[in-house]
């Protein structure tokens, strides 16, 4: 989207300003909703063909948490995502990372190019809203970044992989995007409507953090100076983005590493190690003591697969 005069990001929405006449432009090539060559994408990320499961292709599923107390306390769950980004930056695996910053706009989260660990820490924590994070990828490419990490939702991960495949502007994107970290996502709120709702519900309170605890809580926790206030998820479901209903991917199946919450084990994450690169990074992190992993119980895996299948079943079936 970056630089396009027809599609612009504004106050948490993607807005079509005019009708573009380019038949197969960059937006078309990278749109996660439009059909794509799935086998080409799989080959791009995983090389040789591997058996696919209901949570995609992977080497292993683990429980994980950052060993550093600061990291694990700042992030969501066990702070695994923040730890991976920090490790990659520190080790020089990447020169920058595309993250979602809560303060990119006065009211709406947005993409940001981070170049050091402190900047990455500032982005820690789930946002629960759709954000124009990948606009920052355009910025990083224009800045000349050569090894970029991208952290995104499943739709954003798919979009990045499609960009790598098409490389419409021939910017050597396939080489320059080094690492793709995906997040688990069932749906996200529309930023504009959800922000307006929060502003109306908490007119005087400074909201510190928002958290959706794993089932069976079925609520949204809003942390304010006055304490944590729970709002039923049923009350806020109306703010879920329409496009989320189109998405079959809960676990970012095309990421190198996918991370989500660990239901029933607070302070830990579920980590899906997918690509060889992802495996290498996790091995390095465990070896250097920045990440702690445990076996992910079969029952939890079965539940994760069940939830992932449900999302696939809810989404419209692909046309071809």
Partner 1 sequence: MSLLSLDAPGKEVLLMGNEAMARGAIEAGVRVAAAYPGNPSSEIIGSLAEVAQTLDMYVEWSVNEKVALEVAAAAAASGLNALVAMKQNGLNVAADFLLNLNLTGILGGLVLVVCDDPSGISSTNEQDTRIYAKLADLPLFEPGTFHEAKDMIKEAFQVSRRLGTVCMLRSVTRISHARGNVTLGAIPKDKIKPYFDPHVRLMALPGAPSHIVVHQRLKQAQEIFESSSFNAYDGPEKPELLVITCGAGYLFSQEAISILGLGDRVGLLKIGTTWPLPERMILSILANASRVLFVEEVDPVLENNVKALYADNNSRLPRIEFLGKKSGHVPDVGELSPGLVIQVLSGIMEAPWGRGNDERSRLAADTLQRFAPQRSLAFCAGCPHRASFWAIKNALALDGRNGILFGDIGCYSLAVLPTGFSQSKTLHAMGSGMGMASGFGVLDRLGSDQPSLAVCGDSTFYHAVIPALINGVHHSSNFLLIVLDNSATAMTGFQPHPGSPVNAAGLPAKPLLIEDICQSLGVKTVIHDPFDVSGTSLILWELLQEKGPRVLILRQQCALVRGKKEGKRFTVSVNPDRCLGEQCGCSRLCTRVFRCPGLRWNASAGKAEIDEAICTGCGVCADICPAGAIQKEKQSS
What is the binding site for partner 1 (CB under 8 A)? 3-6, 8, 10-11, 13, 15-18, 20-22, 25-26, 192
How far is residue 149's CA from residue 179's CA, in Å, rounded to a whole number?
5
Identify which of residues 26 and 132 has a Cβ nearer to partner 1 in the complex: 26
Could you tell me the smallest distance in angstroms from the CB atom of residue 25 to partner 1? 6
Could you tell me the smallest distance in angstroms from the CB atom of residue 271 to partner 1? 38
Could you tell me the smallest distance in angstroms from the CB atom of residue 206 to partner 1? 22
Q: Which element (helix H / strand E) includes 316?
A: none
Could you tell me the smallest distance in angstroms from the CB atom of residue 316 to partner 1? 24
Would you tell me how many other CB atoms lie within 10 Å of the CB of residue 65? 23
Could you tell me the smallest distance in angstroms from the CB atom of residue 233 to partner 1? 24
Identify which of residues 26 and 176 has a Cβ nearer to partner 1 in the complex: 26
Identify which of residues 104 and 282 has a Cβ nearer to partner 1 in the complex: 104
Rounded to 5°, angle at Cα 282 from 163 and 93: 55
Identify which of residues 193 and 284 has a Cβ nearer to partner 1 in the complex: 193
How far is residue 41's CA from residue 159's CA, in Å, rounded to a whole number?
11
From residue 108, alpha-carbon distances to 121, 124, 189, 220, 292 in Å are 18, 15, 12, 18, 33
Could you tell me the smallest distance in angstroms from the CB atom of residue 186 to partner 1? 25
Of the candidates 273, 61, 307, the one whose C-alpha atom is nearest the C-alpha of residue 182 is 273
Look at residue 249 and give its three-state secondary structure.
coil
Measured in residues, the chain has a length of 320
Does residue 250 contact residue 186 with C-beta atoms inside 8 Å? Answer: yes
16, β-bridge pairs? 7
Does residue 141 contact residue 173 with C-beta atoms inside 8 Å? Answer: yes
How far is residue 122's CA from residue 113's CA, in Å, rounded to a whole number?
12
Identify which of residues 18 and 298 has a Cβ nearer to partner 1 in the complex: 18
Tokens 């809003």, residue? 222
Identify which of residues 190 and 275 has a Cβ nearer to partner 1 in the complex: 190
Could you tell me the smallest distance in angstroms from the CB atom of residue 17 to partner 1? 5
Identify which of residues 22 and 295 has a Cβ nearer to partner 1 in the complex: 22
- Positive or negative, the CA dihedral 144, 279, 211, 215 is positive
């Amino acid at each position: 989207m970056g630089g396009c005069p027809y599609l612009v990001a504004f106050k948490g929405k993607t807005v079509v300003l005019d009708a573009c006449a380019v038949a197969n432009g960059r937006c078309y090539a990278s749109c996660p909703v439009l059909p794509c060559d799935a086998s080409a994408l799989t080959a791009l990320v995983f090389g040789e063909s591997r058996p696919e499961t209901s949570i995609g292709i992977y080497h292993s599923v683990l429980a994980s948490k950052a060993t550093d107390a600061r990291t694990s306390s700042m992030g969501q769950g066990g702070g695994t995502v923040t730890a991976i980004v920090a490790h990659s930056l520190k080790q020089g695996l990447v020169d920058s990372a595309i993250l979602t910053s809560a303060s990119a706009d006065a009211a709406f989260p947005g993409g940001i190019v981070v170049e050091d660990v402190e900047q990455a820490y500032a982005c820690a924590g789930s946002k629960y809203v759709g954000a124009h994070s990948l606009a920052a990828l355009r910025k990083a490419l224009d800045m000349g970044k050569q090894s970029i990490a991208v952290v995104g939702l499943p739709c954003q991960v798919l979009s990045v992989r499609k960009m790598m495949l098409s490389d419409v502007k021939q910017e050597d994107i396939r080489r320059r995007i080094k690492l793709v970290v995906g997040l688990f996502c069932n749906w996200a709120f529309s930023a504009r409507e959800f922000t307006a709702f929060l502003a109306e519900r908490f007119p005087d309170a400074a909201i510190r953090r928002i958290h959706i605890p794993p089932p069976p809580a079925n609520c949204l926790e809003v942390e304010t100076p006055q304490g944590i206030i729970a709002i039923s998820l049923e009350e806020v479901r109306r703010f879920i983005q329409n496009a989320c209903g189109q998405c079959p991917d809960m676990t970012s199946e095309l990421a190198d590493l996918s991370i989500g919450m660990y239901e029933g084990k607070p302070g830990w994450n579920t980590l899906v190690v997918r690509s060889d690169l992802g495996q290498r990074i996790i091995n390095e992190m465990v070896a250097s003591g920045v990440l702690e992993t445990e076996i992910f119980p079969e029952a939890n895996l079965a539940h994760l697969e069940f939830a992932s299948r449900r999302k696939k079943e809810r989404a419209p079936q692909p046309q071809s």
